[in-house]
Amino acid sequence: MVTNAVLGGVADTVAQLITAFQSRSQQRSEGGDGLISIEFEDFDKEKPPAMGELGYAHRSPSPFDFERLTRFMAYGFFMAPIQFQWFGFLSRAFPLTKKNPTAPVFKRVAFDQFIFAPFGMWE
């Protein structure tokens, strides 16, 4: 369970870092920053600035979202026992044989994608 939670946390961290890097490089390619830039992130969190107001045109990338990281890790932690049971069932239902080991693998993948995967997207 801990391993699943850590892997989910690592995956989300990497995803957030890639997104932040891409948005920063996109901002730089649009130009206008120069050597000095001033960012105003927290003017009014309840009401975003209107079109044309300071801060609307050049939004800085959002900071690291620890709440999202916590959700991913909790999801991985609590899904681990269910996934363990599911993959155990698939191993028993479609055992690998020496004669044709690829057919059971394709059956396992098909069952996993069509039966279990739709429930995993509700996260």
pLDDT tens for each residue of 97-122: 999 899 999 999 999 999 999 877 66
What is the rounded CA–CA span in Å between residue 75 and residue 51? 38
User: For residues 28, 32, 38 and 44, what is the CA-based torsion angle, rounded to 10 degrees?
Assistant: -90
Cβ–Cβ under 8 Å, residues 5 and 76: yes
> What's the pLDDT tens digit per position in 21-70?
888 887 777 665 555 555 555 555 566 656 555 554 455 556 899 999 99
Alpha carbons 60 and 103: distance in angstroms, whole number:
50
Q: Is the pLDDT reported for residue 89 higher than 80?
A: yes
DSSP-derived secondary structure letter, 101:
S
pLDDT tens per residue across span 1-23: 999 999 999 999 999 999 988 88
